[in-house]
A and B are shown apart, each in its own frame.
Chain A
């Protein structure tokens, strides 16, 4: 008995070691990327990191707290537009504009979380769906033209590296995105693995039992919505300075649904898996575009088809997404049993 249990501990340790090795390699690649990747590729990987931040935020809400949001593109938009307006119209530096815009997102998310409290899972999905569909129209509203640039959108100057660092604009933006993503992922991990995370998961799995245990469900749910929206806001702000441009059409329903796809592919209720979800939603449309040589105009339909089929297949066969598959693989390799 004791031999068996000690063997399984060693195996669990080996699994942990394998995961640590995997993450170290990934981290090393991420840190050294600016040394050998071209400007355009760096731009793409900056996008990946931005998506990863948004996905971690959405997963805090949907994966860990069980609140379905189909409208995180709208909070991404608030972060993006907020940053763009503060930089372009008020002359704030980007490092001040992004936190300010994200704070606004936190407020917006917190406020949206209030009606969300009274809404069961399905109603919240409906309300956020409405938010996602209506967002582009509201952004191009004529009354705000002076700030938002209306349907034309708004240009943002890309920042240069500070302190005379020998980095190109793309390299510097990549570094900013990488640092933000790393910090925000660590914050999320800390949240999840502590008291707050246990409360969020308890509310998801059994709301009544959680309240009986003294968890203030209303406060946790609204705050979780706020934090989740804040993550989306940071991602939107980073996206505004990386792309150098915001326009209403880039924040439509498609973006919100792509976030959901990323979370499901990466793995519901996983923080690390979001990097895979982000890689997926960044590169699948890209590669599909390259296939237009073979498919002609039909290639435009390819990403949507892949998204749709994968969403259903993953829900049917591997509900924990890439993160779950990798964990299963690591366990298989080291012979550890399921925890």
Chain B
């Protein structure tokens, strides 16, 4: 029973990381109907940036905020320079461009920081928080950070004029343009936000999976699974999906198939959801106008 609760707790911690990655994916999907296959490598690159700052003596939380801001700027720039020219291209072209981006970030990280695995310190104390015996401090801290990020994102979209403009631009670009919203810039800001959120996911994941250029491959896959499970056009669905996938991965990995084939859980979830209920648990059914 204790073992089961341990698995459940670490599943929740990982699930939180998948949840915010899935949220980043959904943000870009809502605005452009595209899934950013480079999201994982972008987050990995941001995490290396944070590691570099910490390594050169900056305090952790300064590095954390600086990385999120730098990632926001980076995501914005990528949308303006690389993604924008393909806005009207077929899906295949966009997918190829995203794969190209992920190749570039992967090699850039390897070239700048090397391919050896680095440890990444957790900002949280080594003693469990609040006398919680089932979770390490980092796991509780990661869940806490997840909820802070979710609250911030919710507050931003719900209560700020910019958030409202972003939602409007995603839902109805033509009308938004008519009322004076710069739709192009809103897309760029969406990319920036997604990059910043991804960076937070990367920094929370690094103490668990260690830092190397391929660290995000599995995490991105679980985030995909979470987003598909919750409904790829529904941010809160994606968050729930991320948590569910995190818990499921750990429990199924520990008790059913064995930890060494855990990744197939994500494959089964993705294919299963798409076959049985393609819109996911909370998504709208996909309707195509003929």
Contact = CB atoms under 8 A, between A and B. Distances in A.
Nearest to A66: B92
B263 interface: yes
A115 B275 contact: yes
Interface in A232-259: 253, 257
B14 interface: no
Nearest to B286: A120
A121 interface: yes
A20 interface: no
Contacts of A130: 221, 224-225, 266-267, 270-271
B271 A127 contact: yes
B67 interface: no
A141 interface: yes
Interface in A100-131: 114-115, 118-123, 125-127, 129-131
Contact of A134 (B103, B110, B264): B264
A308 B267 contact: no
Contacts of B278: 118-119, 123
Contact of A68 (B95, B97, B224, B270): B95
Contacts of A319: 93
A330 B104 CA distance: 33
A143 to B, nearest CB: 9
Interface residues of B, number: 50
Interface string A224-238: 000000000000000
Contacts of A304: 103-104, 106-107, 110
Interface string A59-98: 0001000101010000000000000000000000000000
B59 interface: no
B260 interface: yes
Nearest to A298: B111
Contacts of B82: 312
A300 B214 CA distance: 13
Contact of B221 (A123, A133, A260, A303): A133
A133 B224 CA distance: 12
A26 interface: no
Contacts of A297: 114-115
Interface string A129-146: 111011001101110000
A329 interface: no
A165 interface: no
Contacts of B286: 120
Interface stretch (B43-51, B83-91, B175-183, B192-200): B83-91
Given A137-B262, A141-B261, A122 B34 contact: yes
B274 interface: yes
A311 B100 contact: yes
Contact of B103 (A126, A129, A298, A311): A311
B27 interface: no
A200 to B, nearest CB: 15
A36 B59 CA distance: 63
B263 A137 contact: yes
Contact of A257 (B93, B99, B111, B228): B99
A307 interface: yes
A302 interface: yes
Q: Main SS of chain A's interface residues? A: helix
Nearest to B105: A308
A315 interface: yes
Contacts of B290: 208
Nearest to B263: A134
A316 interface: yes
Contacts of B91: 68, 120-122, 125
A303 B103 CA distance: 9
A183 interface: no
Contact of A125 (B35, B93, B114, B263): B35
A37 B117 CA distance: 40
B211 interface: no
Interface string A177-217: 00000000000000000000000000000001000000000
A127 B104 contact: no
A309 interface: yes
Contacts of A140: 260
A264 interface: yes
Given A115-B275, A311-B96, A137 B261 contact: yes
Interface of B: 33-35, 37, 82, 85-86, 89-93, 95-97, 99-108, 110-111, 114-115, 217-218, 221, 224-225, 228, 258, 260-264, 266-267, 270-271, 274-275, 278, 286, 290
Interface of A: 62, 66, 68, 70, 114-115, 118-123, 125-127, 129-131, 133-134, 137-138, 140-142, 208, 253, 257, 260, 264, 268, 297-298, 300-305, 307-312, 315-316, 319
25 contacts: A115-B271, A118-B275, A120-B91, A122-B91, A122-B95, A123-B274, A126-B35, A130-B224, A130-B267, A131-B267, A133-B218, A134-B221, A137-B260, A137-B262, A142-B258, A268-B92, A300-B115, A304-B104, A304-B107, A304-B110, A308-B103, A308-B104, A312-B104, A315-B100, A316-B85
Given A127-B274, A316-B86, 8 more contacts: A70-B95, A137-B263, A141-B261, A298-B110, A298-B111, A307-B100, A308-B102, A308-B104
